[in-house]
Chain A
Amino acid sequence: MSNVESLPYELLGRYFSGEATPEEAIAVDDWMRTHQDNQVVYDQVAALWDSAVLQQRYQLPDKETALRELKYKWNPPVVKRSFPALKIAAGLALLVGVAAILMLQLRRQPEKTTLAMISRQTATDIFRDTLPDNSLAVLNSHSAIRYAPGFTDSVRMVNLSGEAWFDVTSHPDKPFIVAVGDVRVQVLGTAFNVKQSEEKISVMVKSGLVRMSRGDSSILVKAGQEGIYNIAGKELGLTGGAFNGNQMGYATRIFNFENITLKEIVAQLEKAYGIKVILENKALENCTMSSSFENKPIEYVFEVISVTLNVTCRFEKDKVFVSGAGCN
Chain B
Amino acid sequence: MNIYFGKAKDQDKLVEEYFQTYFEGLHRYAFTILKDNDDAKDAVQAVFLKLWEKRKEIDEQQSVKSYLYTAVYHYCLNIKRHQKVKDSYMAYHQPVYEHRNELVGKETHRKIMEHIEALSPQCKLIFSKSRFEGLKYAEIAADMGLSVKTVEVQMGKALKILRAKLFDIMMILLAWLFFKS
**Which residue of chain B is the closest to A10 with respect to CB atoms?**
B156
Chain B residues with CB under 8 A of A70: 19, 45, 48-49, 52
Instruction: Tell me whether B66 and A23 are in contact (CB under 8 A).
Output: yes
A23 to chain B, nearest CB (A): 7
* B65, B101, B159, B160, most chain A CB atoms within 10 A: B159
Interface size class of B (residues with CB under 8 A): 35 or more
Q: Does B144 contact A (CB under 8 A)?
A: no
Chain A residues with CB under 8 A of B155: 9-10, 13-14, 17
Chain A residues with CB under 8 A of B19: 63, 67, 70
Q: Does A45 contact B (CB under 8 A)?
A: yes
B130 to chain A, nearest CB (A): 5
Q: Does B36 contact A (CB under 8 A)?
A: yes
Distance between Cα atoms of A119 and B19 in the complex (Å)? 29
User: In A144-193, which residues have CB < 8 Å from any B CB?
Assistant: 144, 146, 159, 161
Q: Does B174 contact A (CB under 8 A)?
A: yes
| Known pairs A9-B159, A63-B23, A73-B49; A17 contacts B137 (CB<8 A) | yes
Instruction: Tell me whether B97 and A56 are in contact (CB under 8 A).
Output: yes
**Which residue of chain B is the closest to A120 with respect to CB atoms?**
B92
B77 to chain A, nearest CB (A): 10
Interface residues as binary, B71-87 with A (CB distance below 8 Å gives 1, 0 otherwise):
01100000100110010
Q: Does A115 contact B (CB under 8 A)?
A: yes
Instruction: Tell me whether B159 and A12 are in contact (CB under 8 A).
Output: yes
**Which residue of chain A is the closest to B73 with respect to CB atoms?**
A22
Chain B residues with CB under 8 A of A7: 160
Please tell me which one of the listed residues A44, A48, A50, A66 contacts residue B23 in the complex, with CB atoms under 8 A apart: A66
Instruction: Tell me whether A22 and B69 are in contact (CB under 8 A).
Output: yes
Distance between Cα atoms of A178 and B180 in the complex (Å)? 24
Interface residues as binary, B1-37 with A (CB distance below 8 Å gives 1, 0 otherwise):
0000000000010001001100111011101111111
Interface size class of A (residues with CB under 8 A): 35 or more
Instruction: Tell me whether A51 and B105 are in contact (CB under 8 A).
Output: yes
| Known pairs A14-B152, A20-B29, A146-B92; A25 contacts B35 (CB<8 A) | no
Q: Does A69 contact B (CB under 8 A)?
A: yes
Q: Does A273 contact B (CB under 8 A)?
A: no
Distance between Cα atoms of A22 and B112 in the complex (Å)? 29
Instruction: Tell me whether B35 and A55 are in contact (CB under 8 A).
Output: yes
User: In B104-131, which residues have CB < 8 Å from any A CB?
Assistant: 104-105, 108-109, 112-113, 116, 130-131
| Known pairs A10-B155, A17-B130, A47-B173; A29 contacts B25 (CB<8 A) | yes
Q: Does A15 contact B (CB under 8 A)?
A: yes
Please tell me which one of the listed residues A56, A57, A58 contacts residue B28 in the complex, with CB atoms under 8 A apart: A58
* A13, A25, A66, most chain B CB atoms within 10 A: A13
Distance between Cα atoms of A11 and B32 in the complex (Å)? 13
Given contacts A66-B41, A144-B96, 16 further A-B contacts (CB under 8 A): A22-B72, A47-B177, A48-B162, A48-B170, A51-B105, A52-B131, A57-B100, A66-B23, A66-B44, A66-B45, A70-B19, A70-B45, A78-B12, A114-B39, A115-B86, A161-B96
Query: What are 27 A-B contacts with C-beta separation under 8 Å?
Result: A9-B157, A12-B156, A14-B155, A16-B32, A17-B155, A22-B29, A22-B66, A29-B29, A47-B170, A48-B112, A48-B162, A49-B159, A51-B105, A52-B113, A53-B131, A54-B98, A55-B35, A55-B98, A56-B36, A58-B28, A60-B24, A61-B38, A67-B23, A69-B45, A75-B12, A75-B52, A159-B38
Task: Report B's interface with A, CB cutoff 8 A.
Answer: 12, 16, 19-20, 23-25, 27-29, 31-39, 41-42, 44-46, 48-49, 52-53, 65-66, 69-70, 72-73, 79, 82-83, 86, 89, 92-98, 100-101, 104-105, 108-109, 112-113, 116, 130-132, 136-137, 152-153, 155-160, 162-163, 166-167, 170, 173-174, 177
